[in-house]
Amino acid sequence: MAASLKIISRPFLVQWLGLGVAVLVLFSILTVNLYRDYQRTSEREQERLSTQARVIAENIEFQLSTINLILQRLIRDTTDSDSVLTLKEGAQSSYFSALIDATPGIRTIGILDIQGTMVASSRKELIGQDLSWREYVKVVKNRPDANILYVSPPFRSLLSPYIMNITRMVPGPDGELAGMVTITFDPEYLSMLMTSVLYTPAMWDMLVHADGQVFLTEPARSNAIGTSLARPGSLFARHTDSGQQATVLTGTEPVMDSAMQMVAQRTINPPKLTIDRPLVIAVGRDNSDIFSLWRSDLLSRAIFFVLTSGLGCVLVAAYQCAYYRFENETASSAANLRATQDNFQLIVENTADMVVKMDASGCFIYVNPAFCELFDATPEQLLGTHYQKEVAAAERKKLNEYFSRLFSPPYAVSFTQQESTVLGIRHLQWTAKALVDQHGSITEIIAIGRDLTEHMNQMGALEDQAHHDFLTGLANRRYFMNLGTEEVQRARRYGSSLSLLMLDIDNFKHINDTHGHKVGDQVLQAFSHIVQQTLRNIDIIGRVGGEEFVVLMPETPLADAIDAAHRLKNAVAAGQVQLERDNSLQITVSIGATSMWPGSGLESMLEAADAALYQAKQTGRNKVCVSEQPVFAGDH
């Protein structure tokens, strides 16, 4: 026994070892693919951030070059004989306004004398201000150089929050410092430029002076403006220390967000300009946002790995357990099969649905009690007979077509059939399936049937209720409109005449108020009966309102319709509505008549007939009025 178990355990051990190797290989493949995806995601994002930083840098470099040209022009216009300083106040203001309007991104233009006093400016409130204490003035006075474009660190202005000035010195006759011209960057213009490159909410960018002071951030961080980033180990310091124009680094930037960031930085230093201190643009994105899809993929693959590994273990364990239980389960399965067959037999014998089996020729080999009861026969009388025996003669050809479909894939068919039963002709719904052996031959056919006769009758009754007025039995408004539209189309197609009568019971509201709604209902029913008795079977009669009725008369000229309207009016007036206690009530009707004219439709005919009916009501009631002219045009 021990030896037998030892022999059995060896293949089981091999199965577990094989599963372990498969799990290890799967883990390796998933890990390598995840690493490659991480690298691709990182490289793609580095390229995108670098591109956004380059776009901003190139725009700012272009802006600096444009500002430099304007400053050079200011220097010429200041030192010329016709100096801008000699212009009158209005002309000087127009001069500055023209320069600002022609160059987006400029906020303020100013001219300072050698002492640092503002002698001319696009902002009148700055003229005469002593700005010698400003850092951008001190730098030029301490290191005057006509070839340098001075970029000031961000500072709080007198008129607004942080700004940045671009300044050049005005040289005297011998090249000495004779004054300064300066232009202030417009933060709003730069803000729009920086916002335009942010393609996710988790991105940010900022413009930083070379000394580390933050000038502008998007999204705006008021507490970050003016903050210095020039601290050891910061992303800004790592960029400037690298000596490269462009870098992409990963780290934290507390000024914008404490989370780990990927940041592309680019030094803005136009090659054709000499700038004392360059600017740096930084574009960053939260690492958690960059790798969100990758983390989702990591999670899904981890779940896949765990589920696959777990499934493998479950399958191996299940297989090994099944090996030991095989004999017992085989016996148990046989017993269950017998029980299932017994249960199936019990269901088939007691179900209200019909169940039959036929051989390939169509002869019954089994019929359940429900089938026998419907056809008033015993199993002995039915077994061996052909299915056509119980089918109405008119249905046999169609049934033979359905039967022939069982001999080709998918070997199944569903249909509804009329059959002669003990209850008369019944509508039976059948679903049949042919059983095919391994050689493709039909062994037997199983069919399940259900009597749908009552259901179909109920559906017909519901459809009739949906189309007819419950009180009078006439077509309701919706059904009348559908039938009327079809008649109009038919009249147009064949060029036949079509007339319409609009009927309204006179003083019906008075009848309701005087005698009650029950009598009102009797009046409506009696009136409907008179209309149906007086008019033709082909006329379409509908109740479209409380006491309003419409009659559409196919192939009827207007003259004939008018004659019919008068007959109907007289019939209504001659009739009596019998009430309780041998009382009776006489009613009259007003009628508006019209017929179809070129371009008219059902709606326009109804409008015309209604107008004629209104005329009949207004001119005394109990009469027929005719509208022969179109009321509406273009009703198609």
Report DSSP letters for 213-271, one per residue.
BEEEEES--TTTTT-B--STTSHHHHHHHHT-SEEEEEEEETTTEEEEEEEEEEEE--T
Q: Which domain holds residue 232?
A: 53-290
- Which range has highest mean pLDDT (264-268, 424-428, 579-583)? 264-268
Please list, in sequence order, all residues whose beta carbon lies within 8 angstroms of the beta carbon of residue 529, skipping any fewer than 6 positions away. Answer: none
Task: Give the pLDDT band of residue 460 (cuts 50, 70, 90).
Answer: low
**Residues 449 and 593 occupy one common structural domain:** no
210-249 exposure pattern, b = at least 16 Cβ within 10 A, e = fewer: bebbbbbbbeebeebbbbebeeeebbbeebbeeeeeebbb
Residue 633: the pLDDT is: 39
**Residue 446: which of 361, 387, 369, 358 has the closest Cα?**
358
The pLDDT > 70 percentage for the chain reads 91
SS3 of residue 444 by DSSP = strand
Asked whether the beta carbons of 265 and 243 are under 8 A apart, the reply is no
**Residues 257 and 365 occupy one common structural domain:** no
* pLDDT tens string 541-552: 999 888 899 999
Asked whether the beta carbons of 280 and 217 are under 8 A apart, the reply is no
Angle at CA 511, nearest 5°, toward 584 and 581?
A: 30
**Residues 241 and 102 occupy one common structural domain:** yes
Strands 624-626 and 540-543: unpaired
Task: Give the pLDDT band of residue 621 (cuts 50, 70, 90).
Answer: very high
- CATH number of the domain to which 594 belongs: 3.30.70.270
Residue 308 lies in a domain: no
How many Cα atoms within 13 Å fall on the side-chain side of residue 103? Answer: 27
> Residue 636: is its pLDDT beyond 50?
no
- CATH number of the domain to which 95 belongs: 3.30.450.20
* Boundary (domain end) residue, out of 234, 258, 290: 290
Residue 414: the pLDDT is: 84
**Residues 118 and 185 occupy one common structural domain:** yes
Can you tell me the distance from the alpha carbon of 337 to that of 332, in angstroms, rounded to the nearest whole number? 9
* pLDDT tens string 310-356: 998 888 888 878 877 776 677 677 677 677 677 777 787 778 788 88
Residue 336 lies in a domain: no
The count of other CB atoms within 10 Å of the CB of residue 584 is 9
Q: Tell me the two tokens of residue 102.
A: 């022609």
What is the signed CA dihedral for 545, 546, 547, 553, rounded to 10 degrees? 20
Residue 4: the pLDDT is: 46
> Residue 264: is its pLDDT beyond 50?
yes
Residue 121 lies in a domain: yes
The pLDDT > 90 percentage for the chain reads 40
* pLDDT tens string 526-573: 999 999 999 999 999 999 888 899 999 999 999 999 999 999 999 999
Question: Structural domain tally of the chain?
Answer: 3
Residue 599: the pLDDT is: 85
Task: Give the pLDDT band of residue 449 (cuts 50, 70, 90).
Answer: confident
Residue 373: the pLDDT is: 80
Task: Give the pLDDT band of residue 630 (cuts 50, 70, 90).
Answer: low
Residue 631: the pLDDT is: 43
Can you tell me the distance from the alpha carbon of 492 to that of 496, in angstroms, rounded to the nearest whole number? 7
Residue 128 lies in a domain: yes
Task: Give the pLDDT band of residue 634 (cuts 50, 70, 90).
Answer: very low
Residue 5 lies in a domain: no
Q: What is the mean pLDDT of the chain?
A: 85
Asked whether the beta carbons of 99 and 70 are under 8 A apart, the reply is yes
Q: Which residue has the higher pLDDT, 425 or 293?
A: 293
Task: Give the pLDDT band of residue 222 (cuts 50, 70, 90).
Answer: confident
**Residue 524: which of 585, 570, 580 has the closest Cα?**
585
438-447 exposure pattern, b = at least 16 Cβ within 10 A, e = fewer: eeeebeebeb
Q: Which amino acid is at 534?
A: T
> Residue 463: is its pLDDT beyond 70?
no
> Residue 259: is its pLDDT beyond 80?
yes
> Residue 491: is its pLDDT beyond 90?
yes
Task: Give the pLDDT band of residue 5 (cuts 50, 70, 90).
Answer: very low
* Boundary (domain end) residue, out of 410, 433, 457: 457
Residue 7: the pLDDT is: 44
Residue 190: the pLDDT is: 87
SS3 of residue 118 by DSSP = strand
**Residues 500 and 614 occupy one common structural domain:** yes
**Residues 441 and 511 occupy one common structural domain:** no
Q: Give the mean pLDDT of 398-410.
A: 82
Q: Tell me the two tokens of residue 317.
A: 């364990």
* pLDDT tens string 174-202: 889 999 999 998 888 888 988 999 989 98
Residue 462: the pLDDT is: 64
Residue 295 lies in a domain: no
**Residues 441 and 496 occupy one common structural domain:** no
Can you tell me the distance from the alpha carbon of 24 to that of 170, in angstroms, rounded to the nearest whole number? 75
Asked whether the beta carbons of 168 and 180 are under 8 A apart, the reply is yes
Residue 314 lies in a domain: no
Report CA-CA distances (Å) from 4 to 7, 9, 322: 5, 9, 17
Residue 338 lies in a domain: no
* pLDDT tens string 120-174: 888 888 889 999 999 999 999 999 999 999 999 998 876 657 889 999 999 988 8
> Residue 632: is its pLDDT beyond 90?
no
**Residues 123 and 217 occupy one common structural domain:** yes
* Boundary (domain end) residue, out of 254, 269, 290: 290
The count of other CB atoms within 10 Å of the CB of residue 18 is 12
Least confident stretch, 12-26, 134-148, 278-292, 461-475 = 461-475
**Residues 488 and 401 occupy one common structural domain:** no
**Residues 451 and 559 occupy one common structural domain:** no
**Residue 371: which of 354, 387, 357, 346 has the closest Cα?**
354
**Residues 620 and 496 occupy one common structural domain:** yes
Q: Which residue has the higher pLDDT, 222 or 205?
A: 205
**Residues 494 and 435 occupy one common structural domain:** no
Residue 48: the pLDDT is: 93
